[in-house]
Chains A and B, each alone.
Chain A
Amino acid sequence: MNFLRGVMGGQQSSGVQPSGAETIQKLCDRVASSTLLEDRRDAVRALKSLSKKYRLEVGTQAMDHLLNVLQTDRSDSEIIGYALDTLYNIVSNDMEEAAESEEENQQVQTEDLGVQFTELFMKQENVTLLLSILEEFDFHVRWPGVKLLTTLLKQQGPQVQQIVLVSPMGVSRLMDLLDDSREVIRNDGLLLLQQLTKGNAAIQKIVAFENAFERLLDIITEEGNSDGGIVVEDCLILLQNLLKYNSSNQNFFKEGSYIQRMKPWFEVGDDNSGWSAQKVTNLHLMLQLVRVLVSPVNPPGSTSSCQKVMYQCGLLQQLCIILMATGVPADILTETINTVSEVIRGSQINQDYFASVNAPSNPPRPAIVVLLMSMVNERQPFVLRCAVLYCFQCFLYKNQKGQAEIVATLLPSTIDATSLSAGQMLCGGLFSTDSLSNWCAAVALAHALLENSTQKEQLLRVQLATSIGNPPVSLLQQCTNILSQGSKVQTRVGLLMLLCTWLSNCPIAVTHFLHNASNVPFLTAQISENLGEEEQLVQGLCALLLGICIYYNDSSLENNTKEKLKQLIEKRIGKEIFIEKLVFITKHEYYSKAAQKPQPSFSSPDHMMFDHEFTKLVKELEAVIIKAVYKSSEEDKKEEEVKKSLEQHDNIVSHYKNVIREQDIQIEELKQSVSSLQAKNEQFQTTVSQQLAQIQQHKDQYNILKVQLGKENQHHNTHNSNAQVNGFQPEEVNRLKEEIEELKKQQDLLKGELSEKNVLIQNLSSQAGAQIGQVTGASEEAAELQKDMETLRSQLIVQSSEINRLQTERLELLQKLEANATKTASGDHATEPKNNEHEEKLANLLKELNSTKEELKTVSEEKASLKLELDSARSTAAILQDEKQKLTLEVIESKKEQDDLLILLADQDQKILSLKNKLKELGEQVEDEDDLESGDAGDEDDLDEDGREDDI
């Protein structure tokens, strides 16, 4: 208080006690007008210390000044810190601090003040300012800033949320508080985020986007999961804010594989550890978080995919361990049962797993049996018994297999008398003296029959041994017996719900029920009696049961046909009254409560009247029963026909359902075989790719070796001065070889031509002498020959030059080779093997060269002989020409002679003709003219031939 005195100066010592308002006003003036920062800072500090005691005064007078300080004195973190603290004090309704106030502030007033001052503060720019101040790292600024914003959010949540949303990076900056190294700020940051995310889906999503799940789960792990302190609790509350009713975030949580990270939370099983209050709280929240993800109110797809993951990652298994563990506090156990319930609800795999869980007792008992034992045990807490019922219901929800298993434990053919069974537990509960057990067992059994006509019929076979000496009684009969004994309302409501469920949609069960002659009179008596309010519920349910007996009646019993029962209602009860009693059910407040959600939850055991699934059944049946009761018999008949055709349809449908089921199984099998084939295929492919890789490896190795070899050669060659020559040799040799080949070919060609010519010449020489007529042809051929010989000659010239070139090249090569050989021979020892190779190569080359030489020699020899032949051919040609000329001359001469002869002949002919004419004139016989004429016609030819013949 020394400091306060200092601030207030001498006023106190003067004895006049100044009012708080006056002091505060002075301080405000100083804050507003002082130019010295120190002065302002002191004044704000003074305001802070007065702000609890004089909350109203400081709030009303100083608010504006404080906001001004926040704006103008940003550079001084100390004064900002005081200002924020002061603002926090006047805005906050924190009870602890309010209690310090000496004034008798009632809580209501305090809360009013908080709201009023928050409203004063609530301007967009003020909140934005506060957000920017939170970026300040200084502890004395950030901490009060966080607390102030948290308080503002508590009191004006939606408004502040909206401002944060529109300020750039607003949410993201607040998320950074989680990374603050100072635990106090991180923890208060958690509280701030809790307020920030309350009821605002947009902010929840942004916070999740900013990796909140990761960061919160990390903190929880670091703090030791359920063994962690209140920080873990705060993280869990924040997680719940982010996930509850937010399917986008739930999807993100699942897709981010965060469900897997929840599993270690529940590794608390049998470890004999203590259960601190904090641990119980933490585990509670953890279980609730699991339930948020698989809640029956979530979109069905969302819940089922989370359920799947929870089984796959072992979370469900972990929960079942807690379920069967000893030493778990009852409320944790209860919540675990509720959690397991929702994790398995409607999920066949999870339900199957749950059915297989055994309690670690000796001998091991199925968890289901152990749980049912608690349900029908009066000493167990009510909430726990409700939880077990819920669990059992969830186990049977959409689970025909599970329903059959439960009913089977009661059937004579499958009953196992040696061990406790679920059926035994349920029957025990049904007929115990505890009405709660009766109710729970009846509802549980009803769930084994829901939407399952097979089990409804099966259950008719169940017989109960009552007392020694008496014959066994059917379960159905035993239920009606107890009903008529006038037990507690709860018991009768339970049994009536069981009977209604059992008989609905099951004409055989209806027949069984009607078969007992006392049942219908009992029901009509119940309905028609004028009883107190307590009994009205029972009356309503009795009306419902009777209605079911009418609606699902196949009229197989003569005394209890549809028609007769309707008449009975009219006579004994009256239609109106009957309907009135019936509709009482849905008007009951317990009915609407139970209709809300699947989990049985009742504020007290007495309120335990309706089951959720049963409310659905009532809704379905109410209208059709009212119709059925009002309908005439003709309408009934028509209805009957329609029903029959519907049944037929149903039969067809169920037939197809079976077909589909079978096909499903086949598809499943095929799928399995496909996947196994795929697996095999993958195996093969991997083997193939392995082998390919090996081959590639080998290839690579081979290539590398090749490259190395090349390198070694080069490397080696650099030691040799005539590396180039070595490199060149094979090419050179090849080229030479090719040329030689070429030459050989040409030579062959020439040879051919030569021999042709030889033949020609021979022909010519043989023909020349004998046939004069062919002489011209021969001379032409001779000319051609000459041409050929010309080309041959030029070819020969080309060849010989080529041969010359080759020879010189060869010589050069030889020289080089020799030089190389000597160099190689003088090379160092390390390269000896290589040298040997080179020597070999050289030797080969030499050989080739030699053979080339020889070939060349033969070529030139051939050339020479060709020349000779050509010469001789030329001379023959010349001779031939001479002969030709002679022949031509002879031909000319002989032609002349022929001409002369012809003239002589013509003269003689003339003479002969004139002589003949003279002879005719003289009357002498003369030779035929014809002969003469014909002789004239062929004379030339004849003469020619003759001439030639003469010549020879």
Chain B
Amino acid sequence: MAYAYLFKYIIIGDTGVGKSCLLLQFTDKRFQPVHDLTIGVEFGARMITIDGKQIKLQIWDTAGQESFRSITRSYYRGAAGALLVYDITRRDTFNHLTTWLEDARQHSNSNMVIMLIANKSDLESRREVKKEEGEAFAREHGLIFMETSAKTASNVEEAFINTAKEIYEKIQEGVFDINNEANGIKIGPQHSTPGSPGSHMGGQQAGGGCC
């Protein structure tokens, strides 16, 4: 249970691109073809290892609909990483990336690592957005890029772990202020537990036991 670092992530992107499925695949290693529409925000967590260190990922999966945008915005500032997801079989979800990115950049701390994820790579026959286009967008905006499939689990681990690696490197470079938890990073608990201060109570016993 002990971890060296804790990173907070958010998953953003249009509704239906597979955000919840990606999270489920990452935390539970399973795919649920019929997934409930996310209302607001759902939480998931998993431990990973980077550089021999245990890192706890706490992930908030957001709802993509416009009506939940203001709720989603509340999560940007406190996140160290964001997975921005689009669906390769739906060009409109790719076209909306700019809006998402603007929103994210405006409300997050400047060091937040953003990973661009092209999901549903298993649906090659229905592809509408070429891999090169995703790569170009990522290059242009300084994002890491990866094609994934929440269905086959292809690259799902990598997407979450590579984001963590990037954050980890930024910590090593001293870019992140790790003492400010508002950045979405927390150093692992020290081995001392928060002890209870010595009790200073006296007086007679009150009430009676059951026997």
A327-B196 in contact given A206-B71, A206-B74, A255-B58 (Cβ < 8 Å) = no
Instruction: With CB as the reference atom, state the residue of chain A lying closest to B68.
Output: A202
Contact across chains for A271 and B201 when beta carbons are under 8 A apart: yes
A227-B199 in contact given A201-B40, A205-B43 (Cβ < 8 Å) = yes
A327-B209 in contact given A225-B196, A255-B45 (Cβ < 8 Å) = yes
Residues of B within 8 A of A169 (CB): 74, 77
Q: In whole Å, how far is B48's beta carbon from the nearest beta carbon of chain A?
A: 13
Q: Kindly state whether residue A898 has any CB partner on chain B within 8 Å.
A: no
Instruction: With CB as the reference atom, state the residue of chain B lying closest to A329.
Output: B207
Instruction: With CB as the reference atom, state the residue of chain B lying closest to A221.
Output: B194
Instruction: With CB as the reference atom, state the residue of chain A lying closest to B42.
Output: A248
Q: Kindly state whether residue B208 has any CB partner on chain A within 8 Å.
A: yes
Binds B, one of A15-23, A367-375, A523-531: A367-375
Q: Kindly state whether residue A856 has any CB partner on chain B within 8 Å.
A: no
Q: In whole Å, how far is B185's beta carbon from the nearest beta carbon of chain A?
A: 12
Chain B, residues 53-69, CB within 8 Å of chain A (1/0): the string is 00010101000000000
Residues of A within 8 A of B58 (CB): 252, 255-256
A255 to B181: give the CA distance in the assembly, Å. Answer: 17
Contact residues of B between 24 and 45, Cβ < 8 Å to A: 40-45
Contact across chains for B196 and A221 when beta carbons are under 8 A apart: yes
Contact across chains for A273 and B196 when beta carbons are under 8 A apart: no
Instruction: With CB as the reference atom, state the residue of chain A lying closest to B198.
Output: A224
Residues of B within 8 A of A603 (CB): none
Q: Kindly state whether residue A211 has any CB partner on chain B within 8 Å.
A: yes
A248 to B20: give the CA distance in the assembly, Å. Answer: 13
Contact across chains for A251 and B205 when beta carbons are under 8 A apart: no
Contact across chains for B208 and A330 when beta carbons are under 8 A apart: yes
Q: What is the predominant secondary structure among interface residues of chain A facing chain B?
A: helix
Q: In whole Å, how far is A382's beta carbon from the nearest beta carbon of chain B?
A: 12
Q: Which of B74, B205, B210 contacts A388 (CB 8 A)?
A: B210
Interface centre among A166, A209, A377 (most CB of B within 10 A): A209
Contact across chains for B78 and A257 when beta carbons are under 8 A apart: no
Contact across chains for B210 and A275 when beta carbons are under 8 A apart: no
Q: Kindly state whether residue A210 has any CB partner on chain B within 8 Å.
A: yes
Q: Kindly state whether residue A604 has any CB partner on chain B within 8 Å.
A: no
Contact residues of B between 182 and 209, Cβ < 8 Å to A: 189, 193-197, 199-209
Q: In whole Å, how far is B199's beta carbon from the nearest beta carbon of chain A?
A: 6
A564 to B203: give the CA distance in the assembly, Å. Answer: 71
Contact across chains for B43 and A251 when beta carbons are under 8 A apart: yes
Q: Kindly state whether residue B139 has any CB partner on chain A within 8 Å.
A: no
Q: Kindly state whether residue B107 has any CB partner on chain A within 8 Å.
A: yes
Residues of A within 8 A of B78 (CB): 172, 209-211
A384-B210 in contact given A249-B43, A264-B196 (Cβ < 8 Å) = yes
Contact across chains for A172 and B40 when beta carbons are under 8 A apart: no
A332 to B201: give the CA distance in the assembly, Å. Answer: 17
Instruction: With CB as the reference atom, state the residue of chain B lying closest to A265.
Output: B196
Q: Kindly state whether residue A826 has any CB partner on chain B within 8 Å.
A: no
Chain A, residues 242-265, CB within 8 Å of chain B (1/0): the string is 000000110110011100110010
A217 to B8: give the CA distance in the assembly, Å. Answer: 19
A264-B211 in contact given A202-B40, A205-B43, A248-B43 (Cβ < 8 Å) = no
Q: Kindly state whether residue A267 has any CB partner on chain B within 8 Å.
A: yes
Q: Kindly state whether residue A380 has any CB partner on chain B within 8 Å.
A: yes
Contact across chains for B211 and A374 when beta carbons are under 8 A apart: yes
Residues of A within 8 A of B70 (CB): 165-166, 168
Q: Kindly state whether residue A326 has any CB partner on chain B within 8 Å.
A: yes
Contact across chains for B189 and A257 when beta carbons are under 8 A apart: yes
Contact residues of A between 702 and 719, Cβ < 8 Å to B: none
Residues of B within 8 A of A271 (CB): 199, 201
Residues of A within 8 A of B206 (CB): 274-275, 327, 329
Q: Kindly state whether residue B145 has any CB partner on chain A within 8 Å.
A: no
Residues of A within 8 A of B208 (CB): 330
Q: In whole Å, how far is A941's beta carbon from the nearest beta carbon of chain B?
A: 99
Q: What is the predominant secondary structure among interface residues of chain B facing chain A?
A: loop
Instruction: With CB as the reference atom, state the residue of chain A lying closest to B70.
Output: A166
Contact across chains for B60 and A209 when beta carbons are under 8 A apart: yes
Interface centre among B8, B107, B211 (most CB of A within 10 A): B211
Contact across chains for B45 and A209 when beta carbons are under 8 A apart: no
Contact across chains for A274 and B201 when beta carbons are under 8 A apart: yes
A496 to B43: give the CA distance in the assembly, Å. Answer: 47
Residues of A within 8 A of B205 (CB): 272, 326-327
Residues of B within 8 A of A264 (CB): 193-196
Q: Kindly state whether residue B73 has any CB partner on chain A within 8 Å.
A: yes
Contact across chains for A202 and B71 when beta carbons are under 8 A apart: yes
Q: Which of B43, B195, B211 contacts A252 (CB 8 A)?
A: B43
A272-B202 in contact given A209-B60, A221-B194 (Cβ < 8 Å) = yes
Q: Kindly state whether residue B75 has any CB partner on chain A within 8 Å.
A: yes
Q: Kindly state whether residue A289 has any CB partner on chain B within 8 Å.
A: no
Q: Kindly state whether residue A325 has any CB partner on chain B within 8 Å.
A: yes
Instruction: With CB as the reference atom, state the residue of chain B lying closest to A359.
Output: B211
Residues of A within 8 A of B56 (CB): 255
Chain A, residues 167-196, CB within 8 Å of chain B (1/0): the string is 011111000000000000000000000000
A172-B209 in contact given A202-B41, A251-B44, A264-B196 (Cβ < 8 Å) = no
Contact across chains for A227 and B201 when beta carbons are under 8 A apart: yes
A330 to B210: give the CA distance in the assembly, Å. Answer: 7
Residues of B within 8 A of A550 (CB): none
A249 to B201: give the CA distance in the assembly, Å. Answer: 34
Residues of A within 8 A of B42 (CB): 248
Instruction: With CB as the reference atom, state the residue of chain B lying closest to A373.
Output: B211
Contact across chains for B196 and A333 when beta carbons are under 8 A apart: no
Contact residues of A between 53 and 71, Cβ < 8 Å to B: none
A256 to B186: give the CA distance in the assembly, Å. Answer: 11
Contact across chains for A209 and B74 when beta carbons are under 8 A apart: yes
Contact across chains for A205 and B203 when beta carbons are under 8 A apart: no
A170 to B71: give the CA distance in the assembly, Å. Answer: 10
A327 to B193: give the CA distance in the assembly, Å. Answer: 28
Q: Kindly state whether residue A28 has any CB partner on chain B within 8 Å.
A: no
Q: Kindly state whether residue A396 has any CB partner on chain B within 8 Å.
A: no
Residues of B within 8 A of A171 (CB): 74
Chain B, residues 135-166, CB within 8 Å of chain A (1/0): the string is 00000000000000000000000000000000
Q: Which of B41, B195, B209 contacts A328 (CB 8 A)?
A: B209
A359 to B210: give the CA distance in the assembly, Å. Answer: 12
Q: In whole Å, how far is B172's beta carbon from the nearest beta carbon of chain A?
A: 24
Residues of A within 8 A of B73 (CB): 168
A256 to B56: give the CA distance in the assembly, Å. Answer: 9
Contact across chains for A172 and B203 when beta carbons are under 8 A apart: no
Residues of A within 8 A of B211 (CB): 359, 370, 373-374, 377
Instruction: With CB as the reference atom, state the residue of chain A lying closest to B195.
Output: A264
A605 to B88: give the CA distance in the assembly, Å. Answer: 64
A205-B40 in contact given A171-B74, A271-B199, A274-B201 (Cβ < 8 Å) = yes
Contact residues of A between 621 and 661, Cβ < 8 Å to B: none
Q: In whole Å, how far is B133's beta carbon from the nearest beta carbon of chain A?
A: 32
Enumerate 15 A-B pairs (CB-CB under 8 Å) in ascending A order: A171-B74, A172-B74, A201-B40, A202-B41, A217-B194, A227-B199, A248-B43, A249-B43, A252-B43, A252-B58, A255-B56, A264-B193, A333-B209, A374-B211, A384-B210
- 9 closest pairs, A vs B, by CB? A273-B201, A274-B203, A327-B205, A329-B207, A374-B210, A255-B45, A264-B196, A166-B70, A248-B43
Identify 8 new A-B residue pairs, CB closer than 8 A, beyond the known A209-B78, A325-B209: A170-B74, A172-B74, A206-B75, A209-B60, A209-B75, A273-B199, A377-B210, A377-B211
